[in-house]
Amino acid sequence: MASVPAMKTLHQSPVDPNFVQNPYPIYDAARAHGDLVYWADYRMHAAVSHRAVQALLKDRRFGREVPAEMQRPGPAHLAPWLMVESHSLLEAEPPRHTRLRRLVMRAFTSRAIAALEPTIHDLSHKLIDAFPDASFDLLDTYCMQVPVVTICRLLGVPEEMSPELLRWSHDMVAMYQASRTRQTEDAAAASAKEFTDFLSSYVEKRRSDPRDDLITRLIAAEEDGEKLSRDELVATCILLLNAGHEATVHSLGNGLRTVLQQGVKADAFQPETIDATVEEILRFDPPLHMFTRYAYEEIDLFGHSFKRGDEVALLLGAANRDPQVWAEPHKFDPTRPILTNSSFGAGLHFCVGAPLARLEMRIALAALFERCPNLALSAEPEYSNSYHFHGLKRLMVQV
């Protein structure tokens, strides 16, 4: 009988500057050893191939919730952040997830998203109108503004709240970064409390003064006589802003960095080509590189025996550059046929905001290259040290 080769151990700090700026060579080296490697720095196995990442995303024997016997009370200083997490759709498994997702999807409909198209178009052009003549940060003035103002309008909260929403969002999602510190945790807890207090008050306003907005629809959503609790409603609104905003900002920023560096022509952003361009942007340099799952039973997969409670990392960025699926995966090619990539996940936890993110990207990119055909980088872009997120610090350009 042929012996099974020992699994490759990957020694790679997720905060190493060279890795943060370009993780793809490390992914390639890891993938050369098979579908799974053991990532010593995280002390868990990591799926690095497209087939392994997709299989684990869809396998119901793995999930986001910590197995019951492993759950422990969190530290007291994180209580406000943990409260939001405990009611988040992203962290739930069936039957709780089934109930929450059905209720959310009753409010977050394709019709509600499609109705935003004119306002996203107008917003994009208004932001472009205000571009300065000198070099400026496109990430801050455009990539960040399109999704945060859009989510404000969708939820029905005042647009002038966007600076606070951005601060709360940045503080809370920083908890998932490899560079997390006690200072990170204190900021996340403080922002989670402020965010929760604001939304709780706003939900009560909408109960007595309903409007045509997502918060009102979430209040009204009902399934088999059940509604979202206040905590669930608040956590859902926070998730829609945090996950949707962070992902779209960095999808736009990373994509613009790529197309400007590589001199992609404006015809890639025409109505007949824009969908393929957006999918290639999402595949080529996604905003989130790692999701984790817990094994819920003993499972033999891809040459490894998982035990209940084992945690596994799913490397979305590695899956999207798998040469078994995409020819010349390190080449940015907006004319590629569209194939399923892993940027929005898959299976039960496929991103509920994916249609909105794609809509925002299509409109914002088309408007930008229509209005600014001579857009060019004015400084070399640099990624922030925030793995497993993957996004730029700034994107300095001139028009």
208-221 in b/e form (b: 16+ CB < 10 A) is eeeeebbbbbbbeb
Assess contact for 242 and 172: CB atoms under 8 A. yes
Check residue 6 and give its pLDDT: 65
Inside any domain, residue 3: no
Give strand pairing partners of 171: none
Per 3-state DSSP, the chain is made up of helix, strand and coil in percentages (nearest 5) of 55, 10, 35
C-alpha dihedral, 77 to 78 to 83 to 89, nearest 10°: 180
In total, how many domains does the chain have? 1
Task: Dump the DSSP string for 92-160.
Answer: --TTHHHHHHHHHHHHS-HHHHHTTHHHHHHHHHHHHHT--SS-EEHIIIIITHHHHHHHHHHHT--GG
Q: How far is CA 127 from the centre of its chain?
A: 23
Inside any domain, residue 2: no
**Distance from first CA to last CA of the chain, Å, rounded?**
65
Which residues have CB under 8 Å from 263's CB, separation 6+?
A: none
User: CA angle at residue 123 from 121 to 126, to 5 degrees?
Assistant: 110
Assess contact for 342 and 54: CB atoms under 8 A. yes
Check residue 80 and give its pLDDT: 96
Assess contact for 285 and 258: CB atoms under 8 A. yes
Give the domain CATH number at 294: 1.10.630.10
Inside any domain, residue 382: yes
Inside any domain, residue 4: no
Structural domain that includes position 373 = 9-398
Inside any domain, residue 200: yes
Check residue 370 and give its pLDDT: 95
Check residue 3 and give its pLDDT: 38
Assess contact for 292 and 313: CB atoms under 8 A. yes
State the maximum Cα–Cα separation within the chain, in Å, rounded to a whole number: 72
Over the chain (399 residues), what is each successive 10-residue block's mean pLDDT?
63 96 97 96 97 97 94 93 93 93 88 92 98 96 94 90 91 89 95 95 91 90 82 91 84 97 91 96 96 96 96 98 97 94 94 93 96 95 92 95
Check residue 4 and give its pLDDT: 42
Check residue 108 and give its pLDDT: 84
What are the structure tokens assigned to 136, written together? 């400026």
Inside any domain, residue 287: yes
What's phi and psi for 304, nearest 5 deg?
-135, 145
What are the structure tokens assigned to 18, written together? 């060279």
Sole residue written with tokens 């979305």: 316
